[in-house]
A and B are shown apart, each in its own frame.
Chain A
Amino acid sequence: MKPAAFDYRAPRTLEEALGLLREHQDEAKVLAGGQSLVPAMNFRLARPAVLVDIARVPGLDRIDLDDPGSVTVGARVRHLDLEHNTIPGPLGVLLARTGRWVGHYPIRVRGTFGGSLAHADPAAEWCALACALDAEIHCRSANGARVVEACDFFEQMAFTTCLAPDELLMGVRLPSLGDSWGVGMAEFARRWGDFAIVLAIAAVERDGDSVARARIALGGVAGGPVRAAHAEAALSGRAATPESVAAAAAAAAEEVDPTGDIHGSADYRRDLVRTMVTRALNQALA
């Protein structure tokens, strides 16, 4: 469990970092918190020739609250910073509720928001959250910047995104959910801190006793995070009742097509989808 030989570079500016990525292309890998990449290197599943450590690149660790309609989370913001965040309103609540499910404390101290998205584990909490909220993912290479919608960012194949080898994920713009929104998060894993078998993220906009809009995303049921479109439709515009929640949960279980592994068969995951969506929605509507 020793990595293959690699070069280590620690650029001090964004230009330098992007230059290194351009120079080495797919021979290079960005090193952020190292909580996924380093184990993969130790198993020799990843063999980058050059590691570009972005720890010293300025500006990537900011949470930007300046724009009233949105919050931009820098790529290098740690999981723990989001768990303990001071972001106002339902968005802050959702980030905190979700953050505590990411791995174990030491992992949350080092692992980063951007790293999690770039790594794109199908059961990663942040990926599902970004998808649920239609986050904008800001990417940049030496050739320029672009913005990608979260649901287009993740390919439906595990650990794959649309990031080019020379591109850096800079930050993620999330809608600051107004006070009419309720948020919920539910997850089932074999042990505390494990990757989810199934997780559900829900954000629901209330309009009196009914639901104006529902956003529901799932993790652990496909190659990447997925939106439960039928479940959202089953709830949007309906009264917020146990029956409508049950109908949405049933729709979610119906529309997913999970594959099984040693921790849970496809059928079990499908059943868990129903339970997790129910729980996330109940939390969001509480």
Chain B
Amino acid sequence: MIGESVPRLEDRPLLRGEGRFVADIDLPHQLHMRIVRSHAAHGTITSIDAAEALAVPGVAAVWTGADVADVPPIDFRQVGADQMVPYRQPILAQRRVRYVGEPVAAVFAADPYTAEDGAERVVVEVAELPPVLDAAGPLGDFDERLDTEAYVFTEATGDVEEAFARAEHILEAEFRVGRHTGVPLECRGAVAAHHRDTQTLEFLGAAKVPFQNRDALAQMLGLPPSRVVLREAHVGGGFGVRGELYPEDVLVALAALRLGRPVKWIEDRQEHLVAANHSRDQLHRLRVATDARGVIEGLEVEFVSDQGAYVRTHGATVATLAAAMLPGPYRIPNYRVTGRVRLSNKTPAGTYRAPGRYESTFVRERAMDAVAAELGIDRAEVRRRNLIGSDEMPFERGIDALGTPVVYDSGRYETMLDRVLDHIDYSALTESLAERRAAGELVGLGLGFFVEKSGLGPFAGSRITVDGSGRVTVTTGEASVGQGFETVMAQICSDVLGVGLDSISVVHGQTDQMSYGMGAFASRATVMAGTATHDASEALRQRAIEAAAEMLEASADDLVMADGAVSVAGSPAQAVTLGEIASALGPASPLARGRPGLVAEEWYTTSHMNYPYGLHAGVAALDPDTGRLAFERYVIAYDVGRAINPMLVEGQIVGGAAQGFGGALFEDFSYDEIGQPQATTFMDYLMPTAAEMPDLEILLSEDAPSPLNPLGVKGAGEGGTNACGAVVAAAIDDALGRPGAVTSLPVTPERLHAMCRSLAATG
């Protein structure tokens, strides 16, 4: 069962239109919320006039900053720091507005149409201030006391000065990754109700991290966490963006409490593009010291992460990960990095699939290509010389990320390099590309090696119960954002218990069903909840066999478990089904011995992440007359230790790659000179579609199972995205025959066209 590409359990309801997303949820007497958003990038609110909005029949209330001034700003969920505390976002702007799209007022009305009618009648006046639009430029003012640099940190290992002092070659470079983000098919949304009978606040439509959001909401609203229940429904994609706690979520919950009616909010796409977390947008400056053979002895990096207008739930997560993962698969013994989290007057930022790694892989692999070009060494060879050897595993980087030291648990990097070079027939391919270029074509190859991280701890729990019919329920506090979580948990459980997948239900993201939970981020769900489910399944199996031994009056050692029953080995007639065992374990049954039910719960804890790794290779051709870039081939090799369901892993890779291409070639949150966002609809925020995607060749491998968990599994969510930017850039350089031509993403056709023209002009 583990390792089989079984169809997803989730598909049945979803493909039949039986799914239940947050927009499908309606509660009696609900009000609909509509947010009035700042039209100015930066300024002081001089007045808000809601009189006309309140006069619209059906509008029940209008709130402004003053109405919610008692509610604290939204706190950090991870990687917080004291310095960043003043930069947190209030749920409605207090006096100052800091980005176009910032919530300024909330209108509550009988239906969403009326709410929108009301919202457009709220008149907000702002005395505008000059916006900061280049975080890498001069600092601006966040308020009267603080400037726009929220957080600076340095991580270092080895002796960088010494490495540069004895270097044969020193290279300097500057690279930039643009601003883009995860755009799930389903926009955000929430429905909340305050049940006065039980004094419980119910919050529906949660995603990603329901338990952490429950605690945060309870704290902000002054409620006991046990009186706040979050429930996850179907979720149409998360990508790091959906499911974080945002101002709108808190407003919905607060309004349910204060207005005494259920409140529903469904985000529209235009809002999503200016209000949900943006991501990326980093500028890196680096110095690389190498020996004569291109082995990197020292690396010094300073980068600026454009955090947008506030520091949200992720704190400094993205910058921290960029810093920690920048060295990637290479040894680089002496490394120092300084990250600067700076604010600007743009939509606040957070994590997005492969956060920090998409950026730092771009930077590192650009640097690798630069070393190869500078020293005249083949690009694959220079990488090989720098790869960490499998005999060096586990490999301690000497720096921390997300509060845990970065220790690569396992990896056979050179094997992966060889596999991909073999697959593409590297030397024949580079030769044939050179011939095509000589004949006038602009065609080139790019390589991008990377290490991912996954399975962030510290814990996940799983409870397996069997009912009297033999149906198995796996309950976890972890979450599904549509990635196939239910299928994977069921496969792991089925593998241990030998029951069919259609006899297993998976419950997740319901805060009243489990005591603790974390969620679906950092490619952690399969690793963490999967391990807990594996352990709980083993425990349940043990319990079933012990009970069956008594019921069958046989020795436990003689019993086997298959097809939902326990039987005596060799005499299948002597058997009890799991349902019968469950029924026999009632509270008063002597068999139960004070522990009723066929149930087992296990908690998996770990203080280390694990590290999948991969290599992208792409061949692209450029049309010099239009600047269009088209990939002829794109190979993604990824080692996930163990693929529970290879089809789902491939699905993760394909979807992830589409997002990687998006950021490299299409998606860009640009702003004009006064801070107005230029990409606020899908006419201007260009997500790649199937037509823009090359056929992907996916090479899954299981060379390096993780020694940190019994399944050997590593996370699969982010490797498809990670190296796309790096490979797009490298393939363009190669096609143009201009190493180092691409220093920033995204590369638009217009930029490529200009590069082709300058190539033609200079010969």
Contacts and interface: CB of A to CB of B under 8 A. Distances in A.
Interface of A: 1-5, 43-44, 188, 190-195, 262-265, 268, 271-272, 275
B749 interface: yes
Given A44-B120, A191-B689, A264-B749, 17 more contacts: A4-B117, A5-B113, A5-B117, A188-B626, A188-B628, A190-B686, A190-B748, A191-B666, A191-B688, A191-B692, A192-B689, A192-B691, A194-B686, A195-B683, A262-B684, A268-B627, A275-B625
11 contacts: A1-B116, A3-B113, A4-B117, A190-B666, A190-B748, A191-B686, A192-B691, A193-B691, A265-B750, A268-B627, A268-B754
A1 B750 contact: no
B270 interface: yes
Nearest to B268: A1
B679 interface: yes
Consensus secondary structure, chain A interface:
loop
7 closest cross-chain pairs (CB), A and B: A192-B691, A1-B268, A275-B625, A2-B113, A268-B750, A2-B116, A262-B678
B195 interface: no
Nearest to A1: B268
Contacts of B688: 191
Contacts of A262: 670, 678-679, 684
B113 A191 contact: no
B750 A264 contact: yes
Contacts of A1: 116, 268-270
A116 to B, nearest CB: 16
A83 to B, nearest CB: 16
Nearest to B668: A262
Contacts of B683: 194-195
Nearest to A275: B625
Contacts of A272: 626
Contact of B689 (A43, A193, A264): A193
Given A1-B269, A1-B270, A4-B117, A271 B753 contact: yes
A5 B112 CA distance: 12
Interface string B113-140: 1001100100000000000000000000
A258 B117 CA distance: 37
Contacts, number: 54
A222 B424 CA distance: 46
A212 B627 CA distance: 33
B270 A192 contact: no
A268 B624 CA distance: 12
A123 B720 CA distance: 35
Contact of A43 (B270, B628, B692, B757): B270
A191 B753 contact: no
A262 B113 CA distance: 31
Nearest to B757: A271
Contacts of B692: 191-192
Interface of B: 112-113, 116-117, 120, 268-270, 625-628, 666, 670, 678-679, 681, 683-684, 686, 688-689, 691-692, 748-750, 753-754, 757
A268 B753 contact: yes
Contacts of B748: 190
Contacts of A194: 683, 686
Contacts of B681: 43
A2 B112 CA distance: 7
Contact of B626 (A191, A263, A265, A275): A275
A4 B113 CA distance: 7
A79 B57 CA distance: 42
Contacts of B625: 271, 275
Nearest to B187: A1
Contacts of B753: 268, 271
Contacts of A43: 270, 681
Nearest to A192: B691
Contacts of A264: 749-750
B690 to A, nearest CB: 9
A194 B666 CA distance: 12
A79 B407 CA distance: 58
Nearest to A188: B626
A82 B525 CA distance: 50
A188 B628 CA distance: 9
B287 to A, nearest CB: 34
Contacts of A191: 666, 686, 688-689, 691-692
Nearest to A260: B750
B415 to A, nearest CB: 37
Contacts of B666: 190-191
Contacts of A195: 683
A2 B107 CA distance: 14
A177 B200 CA distance: 73
Contacts of B670: 262
A133 B681 CA distance: 33
A270 to B, nearest CB: 11
A219 to B, nearest CB: 15
A43 B463 CA distance: 47
Contacts of B270: 1, 43
B55 to A, nearest CB: 16
Contacts of A275: 625-626
A55 to B, nearest CB: 23
B532 to A, nearest CB: 41
Contacts of B684: 262-263
With most chain A CB atoms within 10 A of its CB, the pick from B666, B749, B750 is: B750
Nearest to B681: A43
Contacts of A268: 627, 750, 753-754
A31 to B, nearest CB: 18
With most chain A CB atoms within 10 A of its CB, the pick from B626, B678, B679, B748 is: B626
A37 to B, nearest CB: 15
Nearest to A4: B117
Contacts of A193: 689, 691
Contacts of B749: 188, 190, 264
A274 to B, nearest CB: 8
Nearest to A262: B678
A262 B678 CA distance: 8
Nearest to A271: B753
A190 to B, nearest CB: 5
A272 B117 CA distance: 43
A262 B677 CA distance: 11
Contacts of A263: 684
Contacts of B627: 268
Contacts of B269: 1
A272 B628 CA distance: 11
With most chain B CB atoms within 10 A of its CB, the pick from A2, A195, A265 is: A2
A6 to B, nearest CB: 11
With most chain A CB atoms within 10 A of its CB, the pick from B112, B678, B692, B749 is: B749
Contacts of B628: 188
Nearest to B628: A188
A3 B120 CA distance: 12
A118 B679 CA distance: 26
Contacts of A271: 625, 753, 757
Contacts of A4: 117
Nearest to B269: A1
B622 to A, nearest CB: 14
A25 to B, nearest CB: 24
B30 to A, nearest CB: 16
A158 B534 CA distance: 62
Contacts of B750: 264-265, 268
Nearest to B271: A1
A4 B56 CA distance: 13
Contacts of B679: 262
Contacts of B686: 190-191, 194
Nearest to B115: A2
